[in-house]
Structure 1
Amino acid sequence: MFDVQSEKLKIKYSVEVLADILSQSKATMESRIKRGEISICEESGKIPLDQVEHHPEVQTMLTSKWDEEHSTKPNRTYKLIELFAGGGGLALGMEAAGLKAILLNEMDKHACATLRKNRENWNVIEGDIAKIDFTQVKDEVDILTGGFPCQAFSYAGKSLGFEDTRGTLFYEMARAIKELKPKVFLAENVRALLTHDDGRTLDTIKGIIDELGYELVEPRVMKAIFYKVPQKRERLILVGIRKDIAKDVTFHWPSPYRNVMTLRDAFYAGELYDTDVPTSLGQEYPPRKREIMKHVPQGGYWRDLPDDLQREYMQKSYFLGGGKTGIARRLSLDEPSLTLTTSPAQKQTERCHPIETRPLQVREYARIQTFPDNWEFQGSKNAAYKQIGNAVPVNMARALGHSLVRLLNDIESR
């Protein structure tokens, strides 16, 4: 059992990690240090816990019920259907929490091959969701999960209902909810859905969820770094409870983990993994790009290059405004990774290895998303990157899964 008091003296935060915890910029943190609000321990180069434990975000981590929540078991077998399953991040987390998938739908053939390769017992339906008749599912479905792509609706100045969103992938998820009538659903999406089309997209979604007979829990942006994931990924989570049930139960969001995982935790044996990350396939830089990237320090980007190399690498962009902090970016072992994209070597969203001058390899990518090492991605190297980059981090999905199991247990005991 984790003993907060005995561990407190050991806890120290780097400036970068504390900035992530407090949702402040590194520049803001450095200003606070200059003003004397926070001081860095000379010996460790980090900020001791007692300097910052008054912050609510830190308090929540110190008093976390993570271990208790992760010991939650289903009172019976709860059946789950997942849509837009991708390479399996969300489904794996739900499985680890004790939920049983009875059907998974995915369009991408390589992702489907991955799901089948790793879980022969999963019922993977490959193809267009619009062609699935969910009324043919005979099982009672306890929970429906999935991440529909964020798409604009065509408004023409009117308030939209369920039928008006036909042609979008949200409509297909809403249709599945209407036909299956699960007790609970969970939908995940990009943070940008909050403000997409000046908030109208989310307002429409909320209206349709109400129309379908579900009570929506207030949506929340979850930061993966709080859920034992070494990555600064954010996802918007929507949880809906069927109205005939909702009045009697309350959904509790998962507690954060007690500390923040970094790339060091992802790549080396320790708290996250028992072994160092295995070597795997990976993209490579062209010779000249590799020469230039050698000059970027850990945690640095193009502005850390000598001026002549900045000009060569950035070309016309050198003269434009804006930080462009993803360009020529080398990650740091002592920070969580930036959000993974579907390719580690795209110029705007570079994800260079902290020590070696190369893009992150496939298994490194997978560990940053907290996939187990024995989860085998099918298809080409680039297909694997795409599956991993689009996934929900497994550990964050598991934390949500335990919250859903607790909710379903409460529904059962009404």
Structure 2
Amino acid sequence: MSSPGTQIDPLDGVRILDLFAGPGGLDVAAHFLGYKSIGIEWDRNACETRYAAGLPTFHADVSVMRQTRFDEIPRSVDVLAGGPPCQSFSVAGHGAGRAALHTVKEFIRRLVSGEDEARIDEDLHSLNVDPRTALVLEPLRWLLKAIETEGHAPYRAIVLEQVPAVLPLWDVYAQLLRSGEGRLGGVKYEADCWELKTEQFGVPQTRTRAVLIARLVGSGPLSRPSTTHRPFDVRRGRSRTGQTAAFSIDSRSADSWVSMAKALDAADVLPGSSVDMSRFRSRGRTKFFVVSNYGSNGDPKKRGMRLSSEPAFTVTGKVSRNKIYRTQSDYEENKFDRFTIAESGVLQTFPHNFPWSGNDQAQQVGNAVPPLLGMHVLGHALHGTAPSDAQLADSATWPEVSDDVIARLRDIGCGDRTRCPEGSHKVSRTLRKPAP
């Protein structure tokens, strides 16, 4: 497989536009499926990771790009994808977006009906909610912009993902996309949405996402993506702590999912691996248990626990705070280890050697869409099939990207920095220099 960004013009052949692109979960998925993508991302740290990985990027605000720089998006783009920021909808956040779900549904309908957008924006700003809540409307606004821009074709497919609390909003999206009414101008999609559990697609962590897939009518029927693994029972009734209790649990169904140990061991043996499990290996077996940084049911004293033979907890931006114990004795003496950034990335199904860069790398890892889930969802949206065995095998290792390509992508993404988000370059950081 060719390295990303190796074409003379890195924007040649771009098919997928990834809004709120983060470090590149959906873009990595697209790459291994054989598609080229470009992302819009406002966080400079995530952009540094994207440049190092060879992923075409605009360091910009999604709304600004739509309003004033829409013509910079390559006309070859025919797939819209993205996961708007989830903090205001997440169970782990303050939940202002969840409280405003009904109101946001009405804003979605108002946008499609043709109501003045300035009035809609004014009403949005008057809501006493997290400003990021309004970003869930951006994918719809990008679709309407494409439909209403002369010489631009409607997107052929749309893929959106968010936390489960957003599923009611995706349902409204799907209803309107199927109708073709109002500003959609008769453009109709086959559209549906579901809650998908990542461990059922081979991701070695439990994480539930609300996913919407839409395809232009005439592209064939749409169905729920087929799962490859059975679900993991996160409510298996365990209140015990420590390794002795943990390892007494029946693990006969471990093959029903991909465990942490299996994923990390597979990465460990790859040439030049960034993962080293030797610190947890005894008698040829990798064995540990993880105590979460988060409490159960809101009680910080009740930390969840997972075995190495089980999937990881949801990988969040606080993944580096999880404690890893090798033995019961280590647990009792509070002798713990941590997952490295590379290991946390593998639990998200990023390649073992993915070039995490910039600051806040744990947050970047936690914010990303698991690429393996992305491969299943994008593959289903674009051609109705799951990733092939060859594509899955390729996805273990990321291709090397030259300094020249990185410099070119940074020039496209940031240029002279005057078009980057205000204040985003005030903090001085050491950047990788292009080759002379």
TM-score (norm 2): 0.57
Structure 1: tracts of 5 or more residues without a match = 1-76, 281-296, 303-313, 409-414
Give the whole-Å Cα distance in 1 for the aligned partners of 2:225 and 2:106.
37
Aligned position for 2:197: 223
Aligned position for 2:266: 269
Report whether the alignment pairs 1:332 with 2:311.
Answer: no
1:270/1:84 CA distance change after superposition, 3 Å: closer
Aligned position for 1:134: 70
Offset of 1:193 from its aligned partner?
1.4
Offset of 1:240 from its aligned partner?
1.7
Offset of 1:341 from its aligned partner?
1.2
Report whether the alignment pairs 1:172 with 2:149.
Answer: no
**Pick from 94, 106, 110: which aligns with 1:161?**
110
**Pick from 365, 371, 382: which aligns with 1:405?**
382
1:272/1:184 CA distance change after superposition, 3 Å: farther
Aligned position for 2:213: 239
Q: Is the 8 A contact 1:265 1:272 kept in 2?
A: no
Aligned-residue sequence identity (percent) comes to 22
Report whether the alignment pairs 1:368 with 2:359.
Answer: no
1:363/1:326 CA distance change after superposition, 3 Å: farther
Aligned position for 2:160: 187
Offset of 1:300 from its aligned partner?
6.3
SS in 1 for 2:228: coil
- Taking the TM superposition and a 5 Å limit, the aligned residue runs for 1:205-354 are 205-206=173-174, 209=177, 210=179, 211=181, 212=184, 213-215=187-189, 217-242=191-216, 246-247=217-218, 249-257=220-228, 259-269=256-266, 278=275, 298=289, 322=297, 324=299, 327-344=302-319, 351-354=322-325
Letter in 1 for 2:40: N
Alignment RMSD (CA, Å): 3.5
1:107/1:337 CA distance change after superposition, 3 Å: same
Give the whole-Å Cα distance in 2 for the aligned partners of 1:326 and 1:274.
41
Offset of 1:234 from its aligned partner?
1.1
Offset of 1:374 from its aligned partner?
1.9
Q: Is the 8 A contact 2:349 2:372 kept in 1?
A: yes
SS in 2 for 1:155: helix
Give the whole-Å Cα distance in 2 for the aligned partners of 1:217 and 1:234.
20
Aligned position for 2:282: none
Give the whole-Å Cα distance in 2 for the aligned partners of 1:240 and 1:335.
33
Aligned position for 1:10: none
**Pick from 20, 43, 56: which aligns with 1:84?**
20
Q: Is the 8 A contact 1:219 1:237 kept in 2?
A: yes
Report whether the alignment pairs 1:93 with 2:42.
Answer: no
Give the whole-Å Cα distance in 2 for the aligned partners of 1:271 and 1:400.
27
Give the whole-Å Cα distance in 1 for the aligned partners of 2:202 and 2:27.
17
SS in 2 for 1:116: helix
Aligned position for 1:22: none
Offset of 1:106 from its aligned partner?
0.5
Give the whole-Å Cα distance in 1 for the aligned partners of 2:143 and 2:206.
31
Letter in 2 for 1:266: A
Letter in 2 for 1:298: F
1:398/1:363 CA distance change after superposition, 3 Å: same
Offset of 1:155 from its aligned partner?
3.3
Aligned position for 1:145: 81
Q: Deviations over 1:220-263 (max 9, x none)?
A: 11111121210001111101223xxx145113443323541101
1:202/1:332 CA distance change after superposition, 3 Å: same
Give the whole-Å Cα distance in 2 for the aligned partners of 1:183 and 1:357.
49
Q: Is the 8 A contact 1:223 1:235 kept in 2?
A: yes
Offset of 1:173 from its aligned partner?
1.9
Q: Deviations over 1:36-63 (max 9, x none)?
A: xxxxxxxxxxxxxxxxxxxxxxxxxxxx
Aligned position for 1:388: 365
Answer 1 or 2: which has greater strand percent. Answer: 2
Q: Is the 8 A contact 1:186 1:237 kept in 2?
A: yes
Give the whole-Å Cα distance in 2 for the aligned partners of 1:136 and 1:357.
49
Letter in 2 for 1:85: A
Offset of 1:392 from its aligned partner?
0.9
